[in-house]
Amino acid sequence: MQIWPAIDLRGGNCVRLQQGDYGRETVFGDDPASMARHWVDQGGECLHLVDLDGARDGSLINEQAIRNILAAVSVPCELGGGIRDEQAIQRLLDLGLTRLVLGTKALKEPEWFALMAEKYPRKLVLGIDARNGFVATDGWLETSEIQATTLAQQFSELPIDAIVYTDIARDGMLNGPNIPAMQEMKQAVSCPIVASGGVSCRQDVVNLANAGLDACIVGRALYDDKVQLTDLVAIGKGAQKSSS
């Protein structure tokens, strides 16, 4: 299981939100590229970038910060937030991003998402953000009536690279991931599942690895020094060895 440090961008800064609430923001630094280098030096295998401004406003806001990160590190980087048209997809891939995470647009225009997935195979990731099992959209400001597993099954046969599954109630709260929800998602589809939200200690990562998750995104626990990335990466590599 791979460990992906999260870098959430807002106003050019590296921040974290609690439960996706834009009013509950903590700023962790004004140099995202330096933060990216730090996590790669600690063993980060992929960086999960989120343009929080873009997620809410529907357009790419933090492009300069993203460019700086890509210039600073050589590991794969994926980005989510505000990617709502093909022009944005092409522009971001041209910048050097490895994968793009789309959520709101996939839910609202599934035919368009399917077309993009076929046109850019293995370059798109379906981002499913759920509140009480139902899909949330528009930077988590709206909750739909579609169950997360139903949406995942709808798209799982497309040539997407993975599904990033976020439990909003756990995100940024340091109270542990929703293991049953993650297991349910893993069992519902055949494509790789990346767990996001709630990791607070090394045991949480052990539990996710034991549940068969392919990767997990860790944010606030790293920034608050609740866990050490080198330790988590070692746990993930151990899980890979035991399953191979």
**Calpha distance 99→76 (Å, rounded):** 8
Q: Where are the beta strands (DSSP E) in the chain?
A: 2-10, 13-18, 21-29, 47-51, 77-80, 99-102, 124-131, 134-137, 142-147, 162-167, 193-196, 215-218
Active site includes 21? no
Choosing from 8, 171, 204, 214, the catalytic residue is: 8
Please provide the DSSP assignment of 10-24 as one string.
ETTEEEEEETTEEEE
- In degrees and rounded to multiples of 5, residue 131 shows phi and psi of -125, 115
Q: How many residues does the chain have?
A: 244
CB 111 within 8 A of CB 133: no
CB 218 within 8 A of CB 201: no
Active site includes 57? no
Using CA of residue 163, residue 168, residue 169, residue 175, what is the dihedral sign? positive
Among 159, 164, 163, CA closest to 114: 159
194, two tokens: 């990346």
Choosing from 51, 53, 129, 171, the catalytic residue is: 129
User: Catalytic amino acids?
Assistant: 8, 129
